[in-house]
Amino acid sequence: MIPFTKHTLANGLQVIVHEDHHLPVVAVNIWYHVGSKNEAPGRSGLAHLFEHLMFKGAQHQPRGFFEPLQEAGGSLNGSTSADRTNYWCVVPTGAAELALWMEADRMGWLVPALSAERFDTEREVVLNERRQSYENRPYGMSHFALSEAMYPANHPYHWPTIGYPSDLRAATVDDARAFFLRYYHPANASLAIAGDIHTDAALALVERLFGAIPAGPAVAPLAVAPVDAVARRLVLEDRVELPRLYLMWPSPALFSGDDAVLDVTGDIVANGRTSRLYRTLIHDRRRAAELGAGQGSRELGSLFQVVATAAPGVALEELRESVTAELDRLATHGPSDAELERARVQAEASFLYRLQTLGGFGGKADQLNAYNTYTGSPAYFTQDLDRYLRVTAADVKRAVARSLQPDRVTALSVVPPGQVQWALEASTPAVVTT
């Protein structure tokens, strides 16, 4: 448990303060409950674009975020997902007020500084990032293909977080300003301050800097229909050396029933040298070059996936058969006591490891904000860990039998150009919007 004080300003900004005086540093972390899921069809990519724009400065600090905070000895970054956008910095104690002032400036006064020229420049940066990180990276378009296949065109998870190039090029600076005013305001934000700062002083400072920013419009939770779980076989030709198989199932949403159970299942199936598929496909038979599995937890519904890269000369059908057989054994017999204990220990170690870091991605400030944003309680850390420690063999059997059946899986074969013979039989070409 991370001790904290939570206070909500009159404008709706939720403020969480955690005191830790071991080092003379302060972590400032802010989450906006907006991601690519809040975009509209035809206007994808705006949430991620704002991740870039918000580092470029606001009305009272036109130099941008990086230079002033790095000059003060700080480090900073941010990220965007389908469900949220977060920004963090870690600064010496004496620069905490500067960091908070700059956060308030871009929350309350970004729009006056958002010129058409700045918008156009950062849009080109994002388009180049998409080319480098996805279009020109081996296997980089695979998750785009899976999302487009599994979610209908109007579903909030259909389009990629980085957006479609055509949507980004069609967007205007007025579209961006409207999106910002709709979502990036105190009533849709959670601010965590952790480190060498006193709670009363921190809350007074936040009230002074953020209190006058108007609360924006209420953001209602999105409601979506469950995703149809049907068997699909797709093939994507890409500039890769080895064929790779993606098996993906719709699964329970973040913090809902069986979410943690399937996370544990991923470790048992294909994560690490003690996992079942590693032992059979890599160590014993040398049929795979890489393996991985996991529960990709999200608010509106998750995806469980198994990824296997074939060893040279191995067809992907052989890997699919091995994964299917292993999941069938788990659904029938469940994991052993030793497997379950290893998975629990790994989960607990991961939770405890995160407590070692004050700021940054996954640090204590980030955790407080994540739990507050998704559950309404920054204290959810203990409950979250308990979800993993309580997983039983019967839970794993039930979750696998319910969610990970062959008639519910979307299978994507990624193969080198002109080598579709390595793909699963009866696969149809994947659709990827570019």
Pick the CATH number of 5-210 from 3.30.310.50, 3.20.20.70, 3.30.70.3000, 3.30.830.10: 3.30.830.10
Which residues are paired to 90 by β-bridges?
A: 27, 75
pLDDT in tens, 166-181: 999 999 999 999 999 9
Place 331 in a pLDDT band, splitting at 50, 70 and 90: very high
| Residue type for position 301 | G
Give yes or no for residue 63 having a pLDDT over 90. no
Percent share of the chain, pLDDT over 90: 96
311: left (phi over 0), alpha (psi -120 to 50) or beta: beta
For the chain, the domains span 5-210, 232-429
Q: Which two tokens stand for residue 213?
A: 């920013």
Q: Which residue has the tokens 């849709």?
A: 188
Nearest by Cα to 27 from 354, 406, 410, 312? 354
pLDDT in tens, 238-259: 999 999 999 999 999 999 999 9
- Whether 5-210 and 232-429 share one fold: the answer is yes
Q: Which three-class secondary structure state does DSSP give residue 101?
A: helix
C-alpha distances in Å from residue 297, one per residue of 43, 81, 301, 302, 368 = 24, 11, 7, 5, 18
Nearest by Cα to 386 from 328, 430, 332, 347? 347
pTM of the model: 0.96
What one-character-per-residue DSSP string does 117-143 give?
Answer: HHHHHHHHHHHHHHIIIIITSTTTTHH
Superfamily of domain 232-429, CATH level 4: Metalloenzyme, LuxS/M16 peptidase-like (3.30.830.10)
Mean pLDDT, the chain, integer: 96
Give yes or no for residue 329 having a pLDDT over 90. yes
pLDDT in tens, 370-424: 999 999 999 999 999 999 999 999 999 999 999 999 999 999 999 999 999 999 9
Residues 61 and 105 sit within 8 Å (Cβ to Cβ): yes
Q: Which residue has the tokens 């980004």?
A: 168
Distance CA 202, CA 197 (A): 7
Q: Which three-class secondary structure state does DSSP give residue 377?
A: coil
